[in-house]
Structure 1
Amino acid sequence: MKYLLCLIALCWAIPAYAAQRDACHLDAPCALGDRSYHVREPDDWDGESPMPVLIHFHGWQRTGALPVQHQRISGATRRRGVLLIAPNGNRKTWNMWSSETEDVQFAADVLADVIRRYPVDTDNIYLSGYSYGSIMAWRVACDRGTEMKVRALLGISGTIGQSENCAQAPQEARHVHGLKDNVLDFPYGPHGEITYPVFLWRDHLDCTDTATQVRDWSAVEFLTLSRTEWRDCENGTKVALDVHPGGHFIPHGWIARQLDELLGREPVYP
């Protein structure tokens, strides 16, 4: 009888767990108090296996409904077994210029809610964002990166100040920025250093000054990216900076390549 009752309880629990997931997907946001976030599951997910998670913060005057449909964002996650989470900012923006804002707590609450709804590979939690959303991702990594077990920060065309004194950090930081960005200007160093956009993480993760210039790469023929890596940071972590000659946009294949590298896959596009 005891085993029968356990089986009945399990049968009730599984549909309830699945119902929580089915209640929100793509354009239908998941409610979290008076806030919400969007979800896109990866293609061919079996409904049970733990998934890596990418939390991506949208740009100014956008919502989380855009990233879950965006080819350069969800097109990368859904092909790589990664669960995409796209929170909605209040008034379509983020409060990210100072530490421990309500949006930082919201990001932590979103992750906790996702873990309640889905089986999550907690060794592979990534933060990303574009433009103002990238600044938000940097802010969350700065304030809660350790607490949220952030494996890597993937920033795109937006940073917090490089002199910030961060309480926490991601395990690894990767950033991409266009040299001709006229929305959030490329953050050159005091003497025009092109590597300055990741100075904060190089300092926080105790990287040496030894930089490795990696071979240029591209996912599409009209855009070439140049990568610099710092590979001798504390605990064997890494900081990487990709620079391209363009402006303010998400480079084709950039998120896809970062995920492939982080997950130990051969980089492909898309």
Structure 2
Amino acid sequence: MIYRLLALFLMSASVAYAMGPWRDDCHGDTACQVGDRSYHVLEPDGWDGETPLPVLMHFHGWARQGTVVVNHERIAGATKLRGVLLVAPNGLGKSWDFWTSDTGDVPFADAVLEDVAKRYPIDPDRIYVSGYSYGGAMAWRYVCQSGNDTAALLGIAGSIRQTEDCPQAPAEVRHVHGTSDTVMDFPLGPGGDTTYPVALWRQKFGCDTATPRGDWSVVPILTLSRVEWTDCTQGRVALDTHPGGHFIPHGWVGRQLDELLGREPTYP
């Protein structure tokens, strides 16, 4: 999958630079069509129209659509300032089918990324997948099932079962969940294990030792605590927890993108 995306970029780059097709038919609130389905896309501020872009594909929450994502301060506000192309697929019935591996939403998301690569010069080594709530679970399902070699999963307050057998995996996993979440409950493990929300990836990556990284925050009203696994036989895993409920923490998406892109973390 990732090599097809790169090939599409190389073939379409000269046309894209000359004609700017990203401006012609869909952008922001105006959806791009992929067959009988659609998605939204938002460019970063100050983009020169030529430099290959990292991509954040974000799956919206239940009863929402991609228009919410491309206008969301805590998502689009982060990508616009960091040179990242934001891609927001639209779920059927404003929801996602992430419950089992037998889902049409994974090939749909693959088709979205292929279409994005026809419209924009993208960096195939920096494709990040995110989502919130039901969209967080869909992001987990996507990186579990898709053949796309995604660089990182950024999961927010939603996941699939930790007992799933995933044939694929991203290069890196970052997840955040509130311990008081009552919408998609914080998944405590045996004996009250608070690291259980990433048990699936810890097992798949062969991670052993949890390393506390301490508390951090970007706004005074919320403190997050981070645990990382960096001794894995492949990949790495990070888990941020906070005492709150079901929401996207201020600055969380931006912080993850800064770290993944090798930038000094800033807010917003």
Task: Please indicate the TM-score interval, normalised by the length of the shorter structure.
Answer: over 0.9
User: What's the CA shift for 1:83?
Assistant: 0.1
User: What's the CA shift for 1:93?
Assistant: 0.3
Q: Helix, strand or coil for the counterpart of 1:26?
A: coil
Residue identity opposite 1:196 in structure 2: Y
Q: Helix, strand or coil for the counterpart of 2:109?
A: helix
How do 1:26-175 residues align onto structure 2 when only pairs under 5 Å count?
A: 26-144=28-146, 147-175=147-175
CA offset digits 1:81-119 (Å, max 9, x no partner): 000000000010001101141101101110111111100
User: What's the CA shift for 1:231?
Assistant: 0.6
The aligned counterpart of 2:196 is 196
Distance in 1 (CA, whole Å) between partners of 2:263 and 2:135 is: 26
CA offset digits 1:105-144 (Å, max 9, x no partner): 1011101111111000000000000000000000001101
Distance in 1 (CA, whole Å) between partners of 2:101 and 2:23 is: 32
Distance in 2 (CA, whole Å) between partners of 1:37 and 1:192 is: 39
Q: Helix, strand or coil for the counterpart of 1:256?
A: helix
Instruction: Determine if contact 1:21/1:118 at 8 Å carries over to the other structure.
Output: no
Instruction: Determine if contact 1:229/1:241 at 8 Å carries over to the other structure.
Output: yes
User: What's the CA shift for 1:21?
Assistant: 4.3
Q: Helix, strand or coil for the counterpart of 1:191?
A: helix
Count how many residue pairs are aligned between Structure 1 and Structure 2: 256
Structure 2 stretches lacking a partner, 5+ long: 1-11
**In angstroms, what is the RMSD of aligned CA positions?**
1.4
**Percent of pairs identical after alignment?**
62
Instruction: Determine if contact 2:16/2:120 at 8 Å carries over to the other structure.
Output: no
User: What's the CA shift for 1:22?
Assistant: 2.9
Residue identity opposite 1:28 in structure 2: T
CA 67–206 in structure 1, closer or farther in 2 if over 3 Å, else same: same
Residue identity opposite 2:207 in structure 1: C
The aligned counterpart of 1:249 is 247
CA 215–92 in structure 1, closer or farther in 2 if over 3 Å, else same: same
Instruction: Determine if contact 2:16/2:119 at 8 Å carries over to the other structure.
Output: no
Instruction: Determine if contact 1:227/1:240 at 8 Å carries over to the other structure.
Output: yes
Residue identity opposite 2:119 in structure 1: R
The aligned counterpart of 2:221 is 222
CA offset digits 1:30-52 (Å, max 9, x no partner): 01110000011000000000000
Instruction: Determine if contact 1:55/1:86 at 8 Å carries over to the other structure.
Output: yes
Residue identity opposite 1:213 in structure 2: P
Residue identity opposite 2:161 in structure 1: G
The aligned counterpart of 1:3 is none
Q: Helix, strand or coil for the counterpart of 1:129?
A: strand
Residue identity opposite 1:265 in structure 2: R
Bigger relative contact order, structure 1 or 2 (CA pairs below 8 A, ≥6 apart):
2
TM-score of the aligned structures, taking structure 1 as reference length:
0.92
Distance in 2 (CA, whole Å) between partners of 1:176 and 1:92 is: 23
CA 120–100 in structure 1, closer or farther in 2 if over 3 Å, else same: farther
Residue identity opposite 2:155 in structure 1: G
CA 100–47 in structure 1, closer or farther in 2 if over 3 Å, else same: farther
The 4+ residue runs of structure 1 with deviation greater than 3 A are 12-17
Q: Helix, strand or coil for the counterpart of 2:216?
A: strand
2:265 pairs with 1:263: no
Residue identity opposite 1:219 in structure 2: V
User: What's the CA shift for 1:16?
Assistant: 7.1
Distance in 1 (CA, whole Å) between partners of 2:18 and 2:32 is: 15
Residue identity opposite 1:248 in structure 2: H
Instruction: Determine if contact 2:21/2:119 at 8 Å carries over to the other structure.
Output: no
